[in-house]
Structures are given as C-alpha cells and as structure tokens.
Structure 1
Amino acid sequence: MNRLIYIPVVLLVFITSCNTQKKASKFRFDTPAAGTLVQLGESVPLKLVFPEDVSAFDSVVYSMDGEVLERKMDSTVVSLNTENAAFGSRTLSAKLYYNGEERVAYSNIVVVPPTPKRYGFNVVAEYPHDPEAYTQGLEFDSQGVLYESTGQRSKSSIRKVNYQNGNILQKIDLDDEYFGEGLTLVHDKVIQLTWRNNVGFIYNKGSLAKIGDFPYGSFKEGWGLCFDGDRLILSDGTSRLYFLNKDTYAEEGFIEVYDSKGPLDSLNELEYIDGKVYANVYTKDIIVIIDPKTGAVEGEINLIGIYPDKADYDNELNGIAYDHGGDRLFVTGKLWSKLYHIELIER
C-alpha cells in the first residue's frame, strides 16, 4: 500500500519541478494576468518575468495592439495609462532583445467604462395597453401618436395607438412568414425590422402603406431600432449597435457596447434620447443608457417590479418611448396590459 502511494507522489513532485523550471525559463508577463478588467483611465503595471538564461539584454519594447508604448533598457516596471484606450480586449506584447535574439511575451487586458450611474423609478401614470401586443418597437411622433411594432408568427403588426386609452387607431398585419421587431420614425417614414427574415420594411407614416424594403448587412437578426437624426441605430441581440444610412439603409459601421463588467449583449428595443441610446436588455427588467460614440454604458435603470403580473417567459420588459415635447419617458413590455409613464430617480 505504501509503495503504491509513494511512487505517484515522487512522479508528481518530479513533474511539478519540471513545470516550475520550464515556467521560470520562459519570458512572460507577471502582471497583468490575461483577461484582467481595467476601467478606462486606470494605470496598469506591466511587470515581466525574465528567463533565467538571460543575465543581460539590450532592450525590451512594450506595445499595445502593435503600437509601441515604451522601450526600456532594464527590467523595471512600466506603467500603462489607459485614458485613451478603446474599450474591449487590448493585446499587450513585450519583445526582449539580447545577443542578436528576440523573445516575445504576450498578455491582454479588457478595457471597460466606469461603473454606470444607477437609477430607480417612480410611476407617474398608467395607461391601458393591448395585452395581446407582443411589443417589439415603440415610438411617439411629434403629435403624440404612439407607433408600435408587434411580433410573433402570424401575429406581427405595425400600428398607431392612442396611448391615453389604448385604442388602436390603425393596424397593418404582416404576412404570416414575418416576425416583426424594432421600429422607428424617420421624417415621413416608418421603418420596421423583422427578426430572422433578413429584411426591413419601409412604410408611409401617414397611411402605413408599405413603400419599400431593404436587405440586412452583416447582422443576421433585427431586434431594436432608433434614429439619431442622422443615422439609424440597430441592435441584433448581441453587444453590437450597427449604424445604417437613413436613406439607403446600407450598413455604415458598428460599435461594441461595454459596461464595467465587460461586453453587454442581448441589447433589444432601442430609443434615442438627448444624444444617448436607451436599450432594453433582453430577459431583464433593466434599461441601459449608452453613449453611441464610444459604446460605454453610462447609466442603468432598474425597473424590477414595475409590472407585477409579469410571467416567467415571453412577457419581458420591451418597449421604450420618449415624448420629446413633454419630456416624458414611457415603458411597456411584451403582452403587458399597462403602459407606464415613469420618472427616473438617481441612486
């Protein structure tokens, strides 16, 4: 019995010793560890472990994403300032030059924005909402008429609604093959997305007559949509927001959205308010406030408990509409019987 135990322990000690020696002989980053989260503006110490077989060297060149940060002639720690770094994973490298040779060490950091402001809410007023409306897009026009896009197969529609009493003023049903998604207004047009049909629809704002359509670009699903006065902004359920030309609907770029924990996916229904994008986070009673220039989540609105009759599935918070004239924020959800006018409370 003792011999059977003794032999593996000796082997384990031998293997561990070999791995330790191998690690000690490798040129590598001691800090930061790969994948370290770093808030924008933080200083990060770049500390290297030098191989035992290198007693002297010519220089070490530190770089981030291929751009040289500093060249050192000794092994002292370098401080990396992330004030101007882009959000997301940033590749770090250190090149060691000695005796005509080169060794390279790699690591990476993930740059994230500061912790967002936190908001609660007060319900100012409640209004009736069609409990059969699987809300996917919601927006007021300048006259106070509420435009709504609804989803689900064979039940998708685009409609105008009197928000005060919930009455449907006008409704156009989509063909059964289409699953309606986000919606926004662009001057005299209404733009509506579909989910996985790879097509968006264009309607006349007054009559709701369909006047055109457009194909999707690199994104394969349509979720949320809003208009910043210059470009359409689209979500596809990932951490990306895409920018589309308002006239041609061609894709013109995208940003990745990050909060203080990393990339934030499941972005859903969108609304553009005072230079920021407000986005529902799918399956959560959370709305995030995003800077569309950087992708940073600057605010988080906790709406847990606003709709007490919410079911566990297919009943999510999903609908943000801003009344620009009255400076009022409204929210609802899929199959909710209420539309809420809320005010935010900073915590």
Structure 2
Amino acid sequence: MNRLIFYIPLMLFVFVTACQTKKKASKFRFDTPEAGTLVPLGESVPMKLVFPEDVSAFDSVVYTMDGKVMARKTDSTVVSLSTENAAFGSRTLSAKLYHDGEERVAYSNIVVVPPTPERYSFKVVAEYPHDVNAYTQGLEFDGSGALYESTGFESTGQSGKSSLRKVNYQNGEVLQKIELDTRYFGEGLTLVDDKIIQLTWRSNVGFVYNKNTFARTGEFTYGQSKEGWGLCYDGARLIKSDGTSRLYFLNKDTYAEEGFVEVYDDKGPLDSLNELEYIDGKIYANVYTKDIIVIIDPKTGAVEGEINLIGIYPDKADYNNELNGIAYDRNGDRLFVTGKLWSKLYHIELIER
C-alpha cells in the first residue's frame, strides 16, 4: 500500500480541523449559556463570552435579553442574568462588543420554564356506568348535577355520528340527545348560563344550543386556532384548546378570540392539550394519548400540577381508548374523569406525592 495515499487525507483532516479550531477561537461568541438551555423561572444564568484573539482591550460589552439591556461591562468577567421577571419560552440573548469603533455581536438563547410541577396520584372514590359507545370529547356538570357530554366518532376514516347528550351520571342513562351531521366531528363543550357551546374538530365551526331544548341557536367560526379540541368557561370568557401548546381566550358572547397563553412545563412547551375544565382558578387539561391531566395557571401558562392516572381504567386498549373527559361538580366539590369508549365514569380524589 502506498503510505503517501494514506497520509495525504490525514494531513488534510488535521489542517482543516486546525483551521476550524482557530476560526472558532477567533470568533466572538457565547460560551455559556448554550443555545436552548432550559432555565427554571427565577434562576440566574451565567453569561460567559469567548472573545476574539485579536481583541486584547475593548470599550464595552452590552448584554441584552429580547432586546432589553440587562448589563454593560468594560471587562470580560461573567455576567449573571436574572430570569425572575422573564416570560416563559425562548428568550433571545445578545452581546454587543464595541472595539476600535466597530461592533461585533454574539447570540444565544435560553428557554425559561416553570419550576417542577406538583405531582399527584389518585384514589377512586366511586365509579359509575358510562356508555361504552361514547367517544368522549367534552364533559361538564351543571349546577343541578346533570352531566353534559359531547362525543365524536372513533376515527376520521370510519363512518359514524357525533352527539350532544345530557346524562344521568349515576346510572349512565342518556336523558337527552341529538346527533350532529356526519360531516362534523364533535369535540369539547362547556356551559354558559342557559347555553351549551360545542366545538367541532376540523370544520372550523362551533355550535351554540339552548341548554334545555338542545335547539341550535347559533354558530361561530374559529380564528387563529384552526381546530377545536377542548373548551371550558372561567365565568368571564371561554378557554379553547386546539391540540397545540396554546390555550385561546374567547369572548363569551361573540366567541371571537381575544388572546392566548402558551403552556409550559419544566421541560418546555406542552402540546396536545385536549379536553379542559376550569376548577378554582386553574385549568385542568387532558394531554392527548397520555393518562395525565395537567393543572395550568391561566395567567402565565405554567403547569403547576400533574395528575398521574395510569391504571385507572384496566380495560384500556392501545388505540382510540384515551383518557379524555374531566368534569367538576362544584356543589359537591367532586372531580370526575372518563375516557373515549370507556365503560366507567370515575369520581376521584387527588393524592399529593
């Protein structure tokens, strides 16, 4: 074998690597934090820079987060960045180096997240019959103890009908029911005074019904949120999920979107938010395909609690049988859950872990 043939590629590799190392050393950049670093809200982050080899002295360095000046330095010492008042999500960091009338800029970013949420398990207090043919998408009690339920059908590739129901939760009897046109896939619902508001999945339309007669009295189209998943009511506005990490706030009378909040847990943005319930100032949300309910602060989007419901329904199949349905009985201070095509409705209590 010709050793020269072997050594030429090796020498080229060493040369290229050396050039890259030198180029990196001469570049003005962040050493810490690395781009994408998760930082719990309130913690401080060291901002350490690597200065170019050709810069031995400089006029100043200006540090910013999302364009807001956080510090000015005339030396290369590490700057501590406070996240106490930062918003959740990706925050852009920059450092501007001023030297001999020139400006050089380095960039990085951090992702500010909430602290680790409180963890809960559960205890089943009681269980009740539930229609095993009900593909539950929305669930809510009214003040009289009646349970209202919105259902879809098993999959988009299967024929079927969605429905709106009033149910006797104690024995599972359907007291009142209407079926939606087959082109509509029923999703979340909530109650506002004498009205029922029901979402559809991908049809970009929600329906308004008379609570007593189930007569349809209106409809509305969606805004920025193109799909309908979950819906709840906080007493002043509607809160809507669309399967992403966003929760949208809707006017309770016009149904127009009036803002949104991004939901974050300690690992970053939390998507697949599904059926919703509003309980004591917090939003409880199913996480689609997981036996988990998260407790969200609607002001900040922070996940403050996580309820692990693994094993609650022993007959659960692998597909089209997800946990989905949260209903709170305010008069009795009782929390109920069920799932798609489940034969049981469960009254549960939370156990802090």
Q: TM-score range by the shorter chain?
A: over 0.9
Greater shift, 110-119 or 145-154, is seen at: 145-154
Q: How does 1:109-148 map to 2 (within 5 A)?
A: 109-148=110-149
Superposed, 1:186-335 pairs within 5 Å as 186-335=192-341
Amino acid at match of 2:17: T
Q: Which residue of structure 1 lines up, in the alignment, with residue 164 of structure 2?
A: 158
Q: What does the per-residue CA deviation read over 1:233-283, in whole Å, with 9 as the maximum and x for residues that have no partner? A: 000000000000000000000010000000000000000000000000000
Q: May I ask how many residue pairs the two structures share in their alignment?
A: 347
Letter in 1 for 2:194: D
Cα drift, residue 80 of structure 1: 0.4
- Distance apart, 1:8 and its partner CA: 1.5
Q: What is the distance in 2 between the residues matched to 1:121 and 1:9?
A: 62
Matched, 1:76 2:82: no
- Per-residue CA deviations over 1:263-317 (Å, capped at 9, x if unaligned) read 0000000000000000000000000000000000000000000000011100000
Does the CA contact (< 8 Å) of 1:154 and 1:174 recur in 2?
no
Q: CA deviation at 1:61?
A: 0.3
**Which amino acid letter does the alignment assign opposite residue 339 of structure 1?**
L
Counterparts in 2 of 1:28-107, with a 5 A limit? 28-107=29-108
Render the CA deviation track for 1:125-149: whole Å, top value 9, x for unaligned.
0000000000000000000000000
- 1-structure distance, mates of 2:28, 2:167: 66
- How far 1:7 moved relative to its partner? 1.6
Deviation at 1:180, TM superposition (A): 0.2
CA distance in 2, matches of 1:197, 1:3: 68
- Give the aligned partner of residue 156 of structure 2: none
1:21 equivalent in structure 2: 22
- Partner Cα separation in structure 2 for residue 231 and residue 10 of structure 1: 68
- What is the identity, as a one-letter code, of the residue corresponding to 1:303? L
- Provide the residue aligned with 2:5 in structure 1: 4
Q: Distance in 1 between matches of 2:310 and 2:345?
A: 15
Contact persistence 1:154–1:178 (CA under 8 A):
no
Corresponding residue SS for 2:24: helix
For the residue of structure 2 that corresponds to 1:20, the secondary structure is helix
TM-score by length of 1: 0.99
- Report the RMSD for the aligned CA atoms in angstroms: 0.6
Deviations 1:202-233 (A, max 9, x none): 00011111100000001110000000001100
Counterpart residue type for residue 324 of structure 2: N
| Percent identity of paired positions between Structure 1 and Structure 2 | 82
Gaps of 5+ in 1: none
The question of whether the paired residues in 2 share the 8 Å contact of 1:136 and 1:319 is answered with yes
Deviates more, 1:150-159 or 1:76-85: 150-159
